[in-house]
Each structure stands twice: as structure tokens, then as C-alpha cells.
Structure 1
Amino acid sequence: MTSFAIVGHLARTDGDFSLNDLPGAGRMDVLCRCVNASLFLSHDLRRDADCYLVLLGGPKAPKTVLFRGGELRSLSPDERSAGALVKKALSIPCGSEFREAAPGVYVRNGGLERLFTEHAFAVLDEKGTDIRMVPAVPEAFLLSDHQNFSDAEEALVKDAPRYSVGPVCLHADHTITVISNEIDRRKNGWK
């Protein structure tokens, strides 16, 4: 199982946003692209992948929305589809445990601190070790949206291993695609 967690620093937590303006919802478009990059194959889903969206914008922050590839039933490969599922998840009351909003989509209160107690995340960072040089690819990865990690987030991840996907900085969704490709290559004996 591979898990990706993306921090949405400005992403709305109240669900009060238009699907026609996902960038205006705290760059929800970036997060939706990350959901799609984490889970979609050509004509199928990655059933062995999860995607966590850590939403930090708005009055109800922090909240975490989880997409489980093995359980999803109603996700199409476009930003609006992922955005609609996030919006639906944010519309239901939740507590400290994940609550199902739709098949394979869950929401709970809480953010990175809680996730770090549940997963041993590696941080994807352009200054990290080349992922192709490590003997084993980690199972959980943490990325930031269009903003850098805050000082508090950096303090939380200071001891996590850091990996890079190449010599230039990529968008978060592109980075996820490269990581998934590296995992696919290794699983299938490609070098």
C-alpha cells in the first residue's frame, strides 16, 4: 500500500466553494490533481494507494480527507469530480475518527500531527536523496501544495527521510506520478 499526503495550506475546510472555482477555494485544484495522480491509471484505479488531503484553510481547520483507491466507486479523472467528493466530505459532521462520506472517501478533524502517528512518512523535497538511489521505496510520502512547509510543519517532519524525484522542482501532482512510476518499475523488475 502506498500513501500520499498533501498539505493544503489554504484549502477550504467548510465545503463552501464552487466547483467552477477550485483555485479560489485555497488552491483546491492543486489537491484535486494530486488525488488523480495518486489514484488513476489508464482505464483503472490504483487499488493499492491512498491519498490524504490535509486541509488547513478556513474556520474548521484542520481537517483530513482520505481517498482509498481500493474502495472508490464514483471518481472520474477530472478535477471537478475530485472536488465534488471533497465538498461532499466536508459537508458532513465529523469527529476525530474517519467518517465515510462516499464509497472510498472519508473525513475527520485533525491534521499532520495525527497522520504522523499513523504513518512513517518520507518527505518529497527537491533537495532530498534521489529516489532512484535508495534500495527500497518508502510506503508513505508527504508533499506540500503550492506553498512551502511552514516552520511548525518543518519541525514536525525534521527527522523524516527526504527524497527527490530529480534535479528540478516539479508540481506536487507530477511528483506523485514520478514516484508511482518508480514504484511500478520496481514491482515489475524494470531498472
Structure 2
Amino acid sequence: MTSFTVIGHTACTDASFSLQDLPGKGGRMDLLCRAVASSLFLSHGIRKDTICDIILLGPPNPGRIIRFDGSVLRSLSPDERNIASYIKKALSVPVGKVFREAGPGLFTRKGTLGDHLDEKRYAVLDESGTDIRKVDDEDMPDAFLLSDNRNFSDDELTCTRDLPRYSLGPEIVHADHAITLILNEIDRRRSGWN
């Protein structure tokens, strides 16, 4: 499985946000929805070998993780409002520190980045990191950490200081575009396509 975790620094953590105002009242929920879509959708289907976790850190209850698991996800479509409606559904479920199912392929729990990093072998996307095309196949991580439109906070940098850092090229791209580039690199390697 390939996993992506995207931090939403201002993303609303209560199901009351409006589907009509994802950037504003949703706290840039639009960015997280695009990241979910980029990680899970192919032209005519869902990537069954991919998980996308979003960490919502906005008000009123920062520290909520929502997981989209492509292997069991049902009825999700790639538009932002549909994905946001799944996020609202997950936010309406009472949670503790263990993932709880909010629907097929949709899970949620309380948690922070520090709680989350122990689950997989993560790499951080960082424009000053090693070019991902120079990473050997056996060193390619199975999980990637990205931020929304904000830089990682000092606490997040401390949590990730020992993780490998990879760059996708000379230009800084949006998180959803970065996910597409990573998946393209992984697809090319797995298929032997050069």
C-alpha cells in the first residue's frame, strides 16, 4: 500500500462547515479534498492500493485524522464537494485514539502528527530534499507526508527531523500535484516502464 498524509493546518474539525465555502469556512478544506482525489482516483476507477490520511488542525477541536482507504472505499467521486461530504460524515462520528469506521473505506480518530508517524515508513516532501528519481527502488518509502498551503510548523519539523526528505523537481508544486507526480513515479517503477 502507498499512503499519503496531508496536514490541513486550518481545516475545520467540526461537521458544520459549508460545502459551498470549502476554502473559507472549511479552512482550506478544498486543498485537502484535491489531495484525496489525486491520491485515490484513476481515469476510470479508484486506486485499491492507496490510502490517504488527512490531519485536520483547525478549530474548534484540532487533532482529527480522517482516512480514505482505496481498498474498501465505495461511492466516492472525485469532486471536492463529494469528498468534503465524506469528511463531514467522518467528523460527525464520536472518536477516541483508535480509528473508527464512518463508512466503507472511511475511518476517523483523534490524533496528531506525532501519533501518526509511527504507523509507516514515511518520507517528507521538501523542495530541498533528494531528487526522488535518484532514490533506489528498495529505499522508496511507502508513505509520504505533505503539508497544505502552509509550511510545516516548528513542532512538525521537530517530529519529522529524522525522516528522509525528497524533492519532485526544481519547482514547488501544490500538494495534490505532488501526489500525482509521486504516484506517476511509483507506477513507472512498478510497471518497469521507462
Give ranges in structure 1 of 5+ residues lacking alignment: none
Identical-pair percentage: 58
Partner of 1:43: 44
**Alpha-carbon shift at residue 22 of structure 1 (Å):** 0.6
**Alpha-carbon shift at residue 59 of structure 1 (Å):** 2.0
SS at match of 1:142: strand
CA distance in 2, matches of 1:98, 1:82: 19
1:14 equivalent in alignment to 2:14:
yes
SS at match of 2:124: strand
SS at match of 1:146: coil
**Alpha-carbon shift at residue 138 of structure 1 (Å):** 1.1
**Alpha-carbon shift at residue 72 of structure 1 (Å):** 0.5
**Alpha-carbon shift at residue 149 of structure 1 (Å):** 0.3
**Alpha-carbon shift at residue 124 of structure 1 (Å):** 0.5
Superposition CA RMSD, Å = 0.7
1:96-115 matches, cutoff 5 A: 96-115=97-116
1:173 equivalent in alignment to 2:183:
no
Deviations 1:149-168 (A, max 9, x none): 00000000011000011110
Deviations 1:3-55 (A, max 9, x none): 00000000011111011111011100000000000000011100000000000
Deviations 1:87-119 (A, max 9, x none): 100011111111111110011001211111111
Q: Kindly provide the amino acid, as one letter, of the partner of residue 74 in structure 1.
A: S
1:74-153 matches, cutoff 5 A: 74-136=75-137, 137-153=140-156
CA distance in 1, matches of 2:43, 2:112: 31
SS at match of 2:85: helix
Q: Kindly provide the amino acid, as one letter, of the partner of residue 94 in structure 1.
A: V
CA distance in 1, matches of 2:59, 2:171: 32
CA distance in 2, matches of 1:187, 1:38: 16
Give ranges in structure 2 of 5+ residues lacking alignment: none
Q: Normalized against structure 1, the TM-score is what?
A: 0.98
1:54 equivalent in alignment to 2:55:
yes
1:64-79 matches, cutoff 5 A: 64-79=65-80
1:161 equivalent in alignment to 2:164:
yes
CA distance in 2, matches of 1:83, 1:17: 9
Q: Kindly provide the amino acid, as one letter, of the partner of residue 81 in structure 2.
A: R
Q: Normalized against structure 2, the TM-score is what?
A: 0.97
**Alpha-carbon shift at residue 147 of structure 1 (Å):** 0.1
SS at match of 2:149: coil
Q: Kindly provide the amino acid, as one letter, of the partner of residue 69 in structure 1.
A: G
